[in-house]
Amino acid sequence: MRRKIALAILMMTIPTLDAMAAWDITIESKTVEANETDVMVSIYGSWDREVSQLSVPIIVREITPGAFWTGSLPYDTGGNALNHPFQHNVSWQWNTIYPWALLIEEFRPDIPRQTCPTDGDVGYDGVSPDHFCINASATTSEVAAKQNLAFCTWSFDVAGVAGTFEFDTACFYCGVNSIYLIVSQIPPFDQGPLGTGDVTFHKGVITITACNCGVPGDVDGSGDMPTPLDVVFLVQKVYRSQDALYDYHGLGDCPFENGDVNGDGGTPTPLDVTFLVQKVYKDLDGLCVDRCHGDPGTGYCPGP
């Protein structure tokens, strides 16, 4: 009987021990469209005891050539929880009323040096690879146990090439050569790979999908250059209110409505039929050739 009771207590204890092992750093993965802007990615942390220091060195690495982040890259350097003098497209989500990371709170770009391999990166420049490091450190206060806390978010634009790139962890330089997540008891100890090794890490993968707003004038979605059949589809839509046009909008966030072949915005009109007739029968191209971009609100359509 005593053994059964002991076994029962042990079984009740196992889930608790398992839950206490939840030390994790995870970077969000996302699927975005080609040339998408203001893509937001967060880093999540889980820890079971109060920690006073956190460092995550990150490499941004192209997997598919050309599929990468681009434009004005995020940074947040030289600051702490109250002061961010050099900040661009980075935000922190933990308690900002009673800030925790008073000593340092930064999202700092740099290139690897000292004890890290120093080949392959010449700058934080949108050319793979790029490196940055997330650092947060307390003076006396500590951040309490958390599970899946999205503590930092950064935003960026992506290139027009379909494929993938990733936010992985890698050596940054001598002081931040690995993930550190430090419990400040006496003496303090690190739960990261060079300490107890309890922290798991999951990299973030950004998948850029090709824009799919259709071939210009291919209103029935057959996937090839417009034909007389497309003209009939558009005539039925415009003059007979019989809408059998392909739903490109169901596949993505296309700026132009299908059938608005000249890209001047709104629903298709007789003018669009005229443009499509000229294209199909006379090879006069006035169609909106870039269906993925432009601003129909201003009548702007890239090309032809």
Work out whether 264 is an interface residue with Ca ion (CB under 5 A).
Answer: yes
CA-atom Rg of the chain in angstroms: 27
Nearest residue (CB) to Ca ion, 142 versus 264: 264
Helix axes 270-282, 228-240, angle to 10 degrees: 170
Q: Which of 36, 62, 106, 130 binds Ca ion (CB under 5 A)?
A: 130
Torsion on CA atoms 31, 35, 37, 43, rounded to nearest 10: 30
Of 153 and 222, the one with the shorter C-beta distance to Ca ion is 222
70-109 mask for Ca ion (x: CB under 5 A)? ----------------------------------------
Sequence-ordered alpha helix ranges (H) in 100-161: none
CB of 215 to Ca ion, least distance (A): 7
- Choosing from 177, 191, 272, 279, the residue that interacts with Ca ion (CB under 5 A) is 272
Tokens of 92: 């922190």
Q: Is 110 in the site for Ca ion (CB under 5 A)?
A: no
The vertex-168 CA angle with 166 and 174, nearest 5°, equals: 140
Amino acid at 17: L
Give the sign of the dihedral formed by CA 174, CA 101, CA 85, CA 58. Answer: positive
Question: Is 218 among the residues that bind Ca ion (CB under 5 A)?
Answer: yes
Closer to Ca ion by Cβ: residue 204 or 226: 226
Return the residue of 220, 243, 257, 290 that touches Ca ion, per CB under 5 A. Answer: 220
Q: Of 216, 230, 258, 273, which one interacts with Ca ion (CB under 5 A)?
A: 230
Which CB sits closer to Ca ion, 51 or 245? 245
Q: Identify any residues that bridge with 173 across adjacent strands, giving them in sequence order.
A: 176
Distance from C-alpha of 296 to C-alpha of 269, rounded to nearest angstrom:
14
* Distance in Å, CB of 296 to Ca ion, minimum: 9
189 has which bridge partners?
Answer: 183
Selected binder of Ca ion within 90, 176, 262, 286 (CB under 5 A):
262
DSSP state of 142: -
Number of residues interacting with Ca ion: please give it, by CB under 5 A: 12
Closest-CB residue for Ca ion?
A: 222
Residue 7 contacts by C-beta under 8 Å, 6 or more apart in sequence?
none
- d(Cα 157, Cα 239) in Å, to the nearest integer? 41
Task: Pick between residue 16 and residue 298 the one whose CB is nearest to Ca ion.
Answer: 298
Given 7, 21, 40, 127, the residue binding Ca ion (CB under 5 A): 127
Question: How many separate helices (H) and strands (E) can be counted in the chain?
Answer: 3, 16
Mark the segment that binds Ca ion (CB under 5 A) among 50-58, 94-102, 198-206, 212-220.
212-220
Q: Which residues of this protein are in contact with Ca ion, per CB under 5 A?
A: 121, 125, 127, 130, 218, 220, 222, 230, 260, 262, 264, 272
